[in-house]
Amino acid sequence: MALIEVKDAIKTYQTGEDSFNALNCVSLSVDEGEFVAIMGASGSGKSTFMNMLGTLDKPNSGSYYLDGIDMLHLTPNEVAEIRNSKMGFVFQGFNLIARTTALENVELPMIYKGIPEDERIKRAKHALKIVGLEAREDHMPNQMSGGQQQRVAIARAIVNDPPLILADEPTGNLDTKTSIEVMEFFVNLNEKTGKTIILVTHEPDIAEYCKRVVRFKDGNIISDEVKRK
């Protein structure tokens, strides 16, 4: 079953008197449980496409359905609610709050949902255990390595049990050894929990961990390769 259905998405940007299409009538379907790499050079459209999936930007025309919901015709409050319940985000820069413990960082998405404190703590502890950081609950970000910080960010992304994880260059700030550890965790998360993961990367060795690779160029999808089941 398709979790994501994008059809004929066009995104046009205006620069002075000129305009250009960052997305040229792009269509893509992603089924539940897929692990997809989005690749392309700077300016290829991959970031614009990812921002659209994350509801951070809207196309000028076309359609985007997430889990059967028309994402382009919702109120801002409805979009925020769906983003918090159906999407988890992992960024290159970790985006942790500096003076906040690992446990408190993981609690944040649940605060936005109004989940009671006792339940928040219980679920945050479980999420940190999943990523192997139960011994780091009280550590601040500056007391953890880059890989540990990224794992806290992953715990935060999965704590609300969303069906979709969007990861934007999640290994971009990590060394090779740590990148491998993080990608192996994503593979494990996808295979054991069935999470749908869409990951933006410009690194071919990172894309090798994904089951499907979609390449963008000049606002178009130029290839869509299923690598392995």
Tokens of 71: 């994402």
pLDDT at 113: 83
Residue-range definition of the domain harbouring residue 94: 2-226
- Residue 36 makes CB contacts below 8 A (sequence gap 6+) with 30, 196, 197, 198, 199, 210, 211, 212, 213, 214
The vertex-203 CA angle with 153 and 207, nearest 5°, equals: 75
Question: Chain-wide mean pLDDT for the chain?
Answer: 92
Secondary structure (DSSP) of 14-56 = EETTEEEEEEEEEEEEEETT-EEEEE--TTSSHHHHHHHHTTS
**Mean pLDDT highest for which of 94-98, 170-174, 214-218?**
214-218
- CATH code, 91: 3.40.50.300
Domain count, the chain: 1
pLDDT digits (tens, 9 = 90+) for 115-164: 999 999 999 999 999 888 999 999 999 999 998 999 999 999 999 999 99
